[in-house]
Amino acid sequence: MNWRERIVSNPDILVGKPTIKGTRISVELILGWLANGWTFEDILASYPHLTREDILAALAFAAEMLHEDEYIAIHKATA
């Protein structure tokens, strides 16, 4: 999946958050829906202008960002 064909960032749309091209639906929003138990079918039924490929692009984008960027691991402190 080449997410670059579907994910864009424009400072004039949602303060530059990555969104699905041609929409104001952010990658963050899609990931949140999935994290809350929504299925692809739930998302597509609620937002018929999205496609399965848009959802997969959001997942591919997130995976690549976590793979390539440094991030802070959060560890539970033990007492």
Q: Which residue has the higher pLDDT, 68 or 65?
A: 65
d(Cα 30, Cα 28) in Å, to the nearest integer?
6
26-52: per-residue pLDDT in tens?
999 999 999 999 999 999 999 999 999
pLDDT value for 58: 98
d(Cα 11, Cα 69) in Å, to the nearest integer?
21
d(Cα 51, Cα 74) in Å, to the nearest integer?
33
pLDDT value for 2: 92
Could you give phi then psi for residue 19, rounded to 5 degrees? -130, 165
Tell me the CATH number of domain 3-68, given options 3.40.50.2300, 3.40.50.720, 1.10.10.10, 3.40.50.300.
1.10.10.10
Q: Give the predicted TM-score (pTM) of the model.
A: 0.83
Q: Which residue has the higher pLDDT, 5 or 76?
A: 5
pLDDT value for 17: 96
Handedness of CA 64, 70, 72, 73 (dihedral sign): positive
